Amino acid sequence: QQAWERRAQMLTCVIACHHCAQKQYGTALKHLSGLVGGGAGADPHYLALMAHVLLQLGDVRSARKMCDLLRSAGASGGHGGGGEGGGNQHGALLANLEGLLLFASDDFQEAIPKFEQAAVLAPGMAAGHNNVAVGHMYAKNLHVSIKLLENKLAQNNTFVLQRAMVLNLCSMYELASTRCNESKQTLHSWILKRASDDFDPSTTRLA
């Protein structure tokens, strides 16, 4: 019975993520509300995802409540809070969400260390690295943000399949130089050598 309920929850989460990808945040929130319930004992991943959706909808106050619940879940050791790997994953989710809340308050400089903490705790989580770079961009350190994303893509080739990272890097090229198409073409060719079957060419926005 528990295994079946877990599968049902995972399916609901996948559906919510699909709606997020379509920017249908209101629909996604309805699905996630069923997963989170009152918050007590909820899976940290669902709490973090719901907070992200609330931020997309501009509801910072409710997102802060989700952050408090996520922090409490870590203190109680529930749902992945136990063990070194689970603790790191929970810590990364919490640090990333705290950074997003600071970012939503236009406190870009303070958000960067939180994103960096998330990236250290979960180096395979693309969102942490992406957010570090975006934080630097908004803090007016554009060349730093470009170098960060370029280095992360080089260090972990699986990140080239993370559409948000590639799109952000191309946007940074456009902001940084009038010769941005050359940079994007170089990136495009480099990615095709490493992920030709899975990469969406439109991501580099060369058209």
Span 53-107, pLDDT tens digits: 999 999 999 999 999 999 988 666 555 444 445 568 899 999 999 999 999 999 9
pLDDT band at 50 (very low <50, low <70, confident <90, very high): very high
61-91: buried (b, 16+ CB within 10 Å) or exposed (e) per residue?
ebbbebbebbbebbeeebbbbeeeebebbbb
DSSP code for 42: -
Q: How many angstroms separate the CA atoms of 29 and 69, rounded?
A: 17
